[in-house]
Structure 1
Amino acid sequence: MTEEAQLPPAPQAAQAVFGERFPEVVRYAELLADAGVKRGLIGPREVPRLWERHLLNCAVLSEAVAEGVTVCDVGSGAGLPGIPLALVRPDLRITLLEPLLRRTTFLQEVVELLGLDHVTVVRGRAEEVLGSLPPVHVVTARAVAPLDRLAGWGVPLLRPYGEMLALKGDTAEEELRGARAALSKLGVVATSVLQVGEGVVDPPSTLVRVEVGESPGGVRFAAKRAKAARAGRPSRGTRRRR
């Protein structure tokens, strides 16, 4: 770890949030600050604020996720928010979906090192795995794309009456207003902006919740997913589970 990228000690809130998995999240933070920087997965300037801005900011997403559901973290990158969510929620079955090999390699190393048996790493883009991955209850994403584009990738992965949870910042309301027409075409039936992590992160994390009806992604995507499933199309790259 370079002198310019020193990881600060974990704040007290991290021990409360991660509980018995606190040692694992410390190890993950160390990996991000070292290998994550060296491999270009995060910038060195992010290391001093890893805890508040990244790890805790993502972990509090769990407040909005129901018990025992399936989750797909789209564009998982270095594992944010998927890995922190997995550490605080062993009841979830989580897929980390990421198209770049160097990132999926890192993710698989983290999953195995931390013993996250309920997490699967899949290499591919959302539109490529449509039909080959089982539809999920929840899609998560952070800093992947503007909401209208993100919804086009994430919503078709949902099962009927599922939801997409996108971590956004101050632009959440504005993005939601600008995306309403696109969301309607995708079969979205309700949207909301939530604040999570009050008392844990300051300011609280902002989520955009997008809920779908009977046909997530719209009729066109439902037909495409069904056709791909009948054809047994494999996903691109590797899919591994411990």
Structure 2
Amino acid sequence: MRPVTDSVTPSPDGPPETAARVFGDRLRLAVRYAEWLADAGVVRGLIGPREVSRLWERHILNSAVVGEVIGDGARVVDVGSGAGLPGIPLAIARPDLTVQLVEPLLRRVTFLNEVVDDLGLANVEVYRGRAEDRSVVDAVGGADVVTSRAVAPVGRLMGWSLPLAAVGGSVRALKGSSVGEELERDAAEIRQAGGSAGRVLTVGEGVLEQPTYVAVVDRLN
């Protein structure tokens, strides 16, 4: 495989033992992705230099474990994908999924396309645009699952994400420990967007030092 860039940047630590349980025989692809994040991701301003030493726990595994609450063969839209989180780790860990990355900024879209091409991720597609754009809704709407990571407060996020889900589908967004409070606070916005009363699931137990939280809201209409 070709080098990511010609620059000299910190190398990520090797994967923890738990990574093999998550990625199986595709662990080498996750390692390659970590190299992209640590090199081109830092150079292009997608990942902060201080994040390199904690790429696996904080970013890659944290993203991949959302697959614990996504059904077999689902089509997943990743809103505001940025450097490919959570979509790319999810697609590596779950080759049965179709993962569509939505990102408005050209430099990030360029990075995503380069990574997808280098890793040979046939189950990943990249779309440039904002989740609320009609062109994006037309292109990727009707998804089984819409996911995201650290994009916006829950109410605003559901306003963008629920229109991309099929009726009966759901948003399953990675959030912080205060997600339950966000769901209560933004309940009116969620209902207005056509969503159910939200619930919180915990993922990553036994994989991450600190399990993470997924806000789940079903699209009702």
Range into which the TM-score falls when normalised by the shorter chain: over 0.9
Which consecutive unaligned segments of at least 5 residues does structure 1 have? 216-242
| Mapped partners of 2:21, 2:164: distance in 1 | 33
| Mapped pair 1:85 → 2:90 | yes
Letter matched to residue 52 of structure 2: V
CA shift at 1:178, angstroms? 1.0
TM-score normalised per structure 1: 0.85
Residue 170 (structure 2) aligns with = 163
| Mapped partners of 1:207, 1:101: distance in 2 | 28
Residue 47 (structure 1) aligns with = 52
Equivalent of residue 133 in structure 1, options 124, 136, 140: 140
CA shift at 1:96, angstroms? 0.2
Residue 114 (structure 1) aligns with = 119
CA shift at 1:132, angstroms? 3.6
Higher Cα Rg, which structure: 1
CA shift at 1:130, angstroms? 2.0
| Mapped partners of 2:155, 2:218: distance in 1 | 14
Residue 151 (structure 1) aligns with = 158
8 Å contact from structure 1 (residues 136, 157) kept in 2: yes
| Mapped pair 1:24 → 2:37 | no
Which consecutive unaligned segments of at least 5 residues does structure 2 have? 1-6
CA shift at 1:16, angstroms? 1.7
TM-score normalised per structure 2: 0.93
| Mapped pair 1:194 → 2:201 | yes
Higher relative contact order (CA 8 A, sep 6+): 1
Number of equivalences:
213
Identical-residue share of aligned pairs (%): 54
Note the aligned Cα RMSD (angstroms): 1.2
8 Å contact from structure 2 (residues 137, 164) kept in 1: yes
CA shift at 1:108, angstroms? 0.5
